[in-house]
Amino acid sequence: LVSDAKGNHFHFYDRECSIQRRYQKIIEESPSPAMDEVLRSKICDTALKISEGINYIGAGTIEFILADNGEFYFLEMNTRLQVEHPVTELVTGFDLVELQILAASGEAFKFDQKDIKQFGHAIECRINAEHPDNEFLPTIGRIQKIHSIANTDYRLDCGYSDGNNISTSFDPMLAKVIVHDSDRITAIEKMYDALDDVLFGGAKTNRDFLKRVLSHNLFVEGN
């Protein structure tokens, strides 16, 4: 959600972040395949009530845990943008960084909740310097080549360049790969192709592990 400085609060729908390792997300998507429209509306309305109740200003993420019976429970509120905010940007068309700056500047947003729609499906994968088959221990090395000539359409958020060294002094996340398409299955296929383009040659990463998850039947089925 994002709230402006004039008391207006807006939700930007939902994200699914169940695929994790060491309690940290590695695959995020929007919309969540675990929810129908009734449940989605209830969760989004609850998030708005929380934001309104504390007179929040700026961008924030409210996290819930969803039980098997459809009940959901408040976990926490992250009073900031999160790593996975690009999937929300791709399914809504809004620049959340811009909105956060506008809110901090004291401006009112020039749209209503009805103007915020979800279009298609977006998936984000975190590329980490780590060894998935060795308890996800961090790895080091020199990045020879980050990506090839793209054979598919994707967004790559990355602060590294070819030739950079990976050390143990920083978080192991190297980049985020984000795709968007008309439906979830097509988005999964596009992400699989995108990961073939994002090489990070010279460094051991979780890229192949992510591809295994994307092709797993339970993930494809949205379970």
Q: Is 80 an annotated catalytic residue?
A: yes
Cα-Cα-Cα-Cα dihedral sign, residues 51, 89, 130, 222: positive
Q: Could you give the CA distance from residue 97 to residue 12 in angstroms, rounded to a whole number?
A: 13
SS (H, E, C) the chain: CEECCCCCEECCCCCEEEEEECCEEEEEEECCCCCCHHHHHHHHHHHHHHHHHCCCCEECEEEEEECCCCCEEEEEEECCCCCCHHHHHHHHCCCHHHHHHHHHCCCCCCCCHHHCCCCCEEEEEEEECEEHHHCCEECCEECCEEECCCCCCCEEEECCCCCCEECCCCCCEEEEEEEEECCHHHHHHHHHHHHHHEEEECCCCCHHHHHHHHCCHHHHCCC
Catalytic residue among 40, 80, 155, 212: 80
Residue 127 is encoded by which pair of tokens?
């590329």
- Which residues does the annotation mark as catalytic? 80
